[in-house]
Structure 1
Amino acid sequence: MNPATKRLLTPQRLLMVSAVVAVFTIALKTTAWYVTDSVGLLSDAMESLVNLASAIFGLVMVTIAARPADEDHPYGHHKAEYFSSGFEGILIIVAALGICWVSVNRLIDPQPITKVGWGLALSVASSALNGLLAWVMFRAAKEHRSIALEADAKHLVTDVWTSAGVVVGIALVSVTGWLWLDPIVAIGVAINILREGFHLMWRSSQGLMDEALEPEIMETIQATLAGFEHKRGETEIVRFDHIATRKAGQRRFVDMHMHMPASWTLGRAAAVRGSVEQALMSAVPGLRATIQLLPSDVEAHFDEARDLI
């Protein structure tokens, strides 16, 4: 994605588009349910309602996450995106339970499906729209490192699979005349989106608990640091240890100790540290590095028993 496109497809703009598309697909799917009286299409429309609520809440959280650091939040507001992902997971679970409830009632009391052609056409049209938007959002989520955008895109993909399952179910009912297939398909849809809801909640919890950076990012950090490590004979002149990383929304953080000879002047040590910080931030977009300087013969001690009291 080129810089101009990246600036155009911001998380805020895409979530606003997602909300508008959700309103449009709700209208299509509700119409499809109305003309067919299919509980499968009703479950599809209910999930689109969740899409709308999720997009609106995600837009609010992404806007908050973009705020600069202030006196009350010196590390910024980046973690607000995790609340969006978690909230979306909760809404998905609630929708899935509602679909199960309606489907079980329809399974007990089957009802005929009418005007199948119109219902399928409207459902397929809404799915195509959601699929296109999800593809764009996945690309933008990767570029902006936005979990809120990724969560909304995953939900849209789930919606597409939901619609596909509903279409297959209604087509089978039309061919076979087995009315019980309609609620069975709806229950299968509910189980699928229930799984996605729990996955989103898990992702959010890991982010709020300061999950470490991805293994491939850690490899990039280690390779960058290796370029600054230096030995003289068997003695290490410059070395790094106690490297700790975490993610907070779009932002990435790394903390470490940098050991160097005690004979170096503060100015020389600071200059090397500045070079390391710049190299790390250039190698890993969105990274903020915090490096503590220590003499080579000094070790820092963490997690001692007295620190845990």
Structure 2
Amino acid sequence: MSRQRRLILLSLLTGIVLMLVKFIAYFLTDSNAIFTDAAESIVNVIASSFAFYSIYLSSQPKDENHPYGHGKVEFFSVFVEGGLIFIAGSIILIKAGYNFFFPNELQNISEGIGLIAITAVINFAVGFYLMKRGKAIRSLTIEADGKHLQVDAYSSLGLIVGLYLIQLTKLPWIDILISFILGSFILYNGYKLLRKSISGLMDESDLGIVEEVVEELNKARKKDWIDVHNLRVQRYGNELHIDCHVTLPNYYTLTEVHDRISDFDHLLNKGLQSPTEFFVHADPCLPECCHYCKVEACPIRSEAFRKEIEWTSENVTRNMKHFRSQ
């Protein structure tokens, strides 16, 4: 079993156990706010189940119908999770509105607080671990699932505070107020996950990944990589697909160009944390490149080297050689 599937299985099993604990707390207390927390746990379990399948699918090798692999399913998984969270938040707000007009009497609050506190600690710990591992292996699904568990832990913490206030003040309407607040918080986090998944499915540029690629480009930079431009990065699951133009001396033979592009691919794959597939277009240098070209003993140099141009996310993503962007 892969690392991703082991991690999501941990999330799924944790979600099932904690969901049962929260519903026990709800039946003990008859608290609308605890029902809010328990309802979100149903979403955790359903979302983790779908995430488990999506990770299995994303790990399948490329085929004729999916030449870039199946990694995009992770964005769809996050979309489903975000959608479920959004629906859960809506249901919670509707129920809170109903109980505002038809309140119910709370009981066994201390026992409910104890059970919810246990679930909050476990959710936060597992969520923190999943987010850390998800970022390390670049799995959006694992990271989103960890974020969801942490959101659940924060909402449980707010719930505990509210239940203590109910005990102290004997004001039952606080239960409904907490439910409204937590429902709105859950709704907002569902929206954020939906937004993130849609941006991935639409191949929206991820500035963080672009910055990381540019940093590795500068670390691995060779003198005959005269410039890099028209850089585009796409994310498919935990893999990156990058295409760009690399300017090389125009007197290189086809074999030399091939060797330099192979070095480019190897060095960047070695530095980047994700498996990366490169599609590199080789451009010949022009006389206008000479003032920032560091190739020594160049037989066709038309002017002396003056200044190295630093590669940044701004100039490497433009579709032009660097002398045109000065």
TM-score (norm 2): 0.83
- Cα distance, 1:204 vs structure 2: 0.6
Equivalent AA in structure 2 for residue 183 of structure 1: I
1:302 Cα shift?
7.1
User: What secondary structure does 2:242 align onto?
Assistant: strand
1:228 aligns with 2:185: no
Partner of 2:246: 258
Q: Is the 8 A contact 2:213 2:272 kept in 1?
A: no
Matching residue's letter, 1:146:
S
Cα drift, residue 285 of structure 1: 2.2
| 2:127–2:146 CA contact under 8 A, matched in 1 | yes
Native 8 Å contact 2:162 2:174 kept in 1: yes
The reply to whether residue 63 of structure 1 matches residue 56 of structure 2 is yes
Which residue does the alignment assign to 2:290? none
Structure 2 residues without counterparts, runs of 5 or longer: 288-317, 321-326
Question: Identity across aligned pairs (percent)?
Answer: 26
Aligned equivalents of 1:177, 1:13: Cα separation in 2: 45
Whether 1:209 aligns to 2:213 is no
Q: Secondary structure at the match of 1:252?
A: strand
CA RMSD, Structure 1 to Structure 2 (Å): 2.1
Give the alignment of 1:101-112 within 5 angstroms.
101-112=94-105
Cα distance in structure 1, aligned partners of 2:211 and 2:233: 13
CA distance in structure 2 between the partners assigned to 1:45 and 1:297 by the alignment: 65
Partner of 1:29: 22
Asked whether the equivalents of residues 96 and 193 of structure 1 are also in contact (C-alpha less than 8 Å), the reply is yes
C-alpha separation between the residues in 2 aligned to 1:241 and 1:229? 16
For residue 226 of structure 2, give the secondary structure of its aligned residue in structure 1. Answer: strand
Q: Residue 131 of structure 2: which of 134, 138, 144 is its match? A: 138
Instruction: Specify the alignment match of 1:296 in structure 2.
Output: 285
1:83-94 map, 5 Å: 83-94=76-87
Q: Which residue of 2 aligns with 1:3?
A: none
8 Å Cα contact 1:212/1:247 also seen in 2 = no
Deviating beyond 6 angstroms after TM superposition, the runs of 4 or more aligned structure 1 residues are none
Shift of 1:9: 8.0
Q: Summarize the alignment of residues 235-246 of structure 1 with structure 2, pairs less than 5 Å apart.
A: 238-246=226-234
- The SS at the match of 1:73 is coil
Letter paired with 2:247: H
Superposed CA deviations along residues 124-182 of structure 1, whole A, max 9, x for unmatched, are: 11111111111210121011101101111111011111111111111111111111110
1:183 correspondence with 2:171: no
Checking the alignment, whether the CA contact within 8 Å between 1:220 and 1:283 is kept in structure 2 is: no
Aligned pair count? 288
Partner of 1:5: none
Any idea what the Cα deviations from partners look like across 1:63-82, whole Å, max 9, x if unmatched?
11111110100111111100
Instruction: Give the secondary structure class of the aligned counterpart of 1:212.
Output: coil
Q: Any conservation in 1 of the 2:25–2:111 contact (CA below 8 Å)?
A: yes
Contact 1:244–1:254, Cα closer than 8 Å, also in 2: yes
TM-aligned CA distance change 1:14 to 1:116, over 3 Å: same
Q: Distance in 1 between matches of 2:188 and 2:123?
A: 19
d(CA) in 1 for partners of 2:273, 2:29: 50
1:162 aligns with 2:174: no
Distance in 2 (alpha carbons) for counterparts of 1:241 and 1:161: 44
Deviation at 1:291, TM superposition (A): 1.1
Matched, 1:75 2:64: no
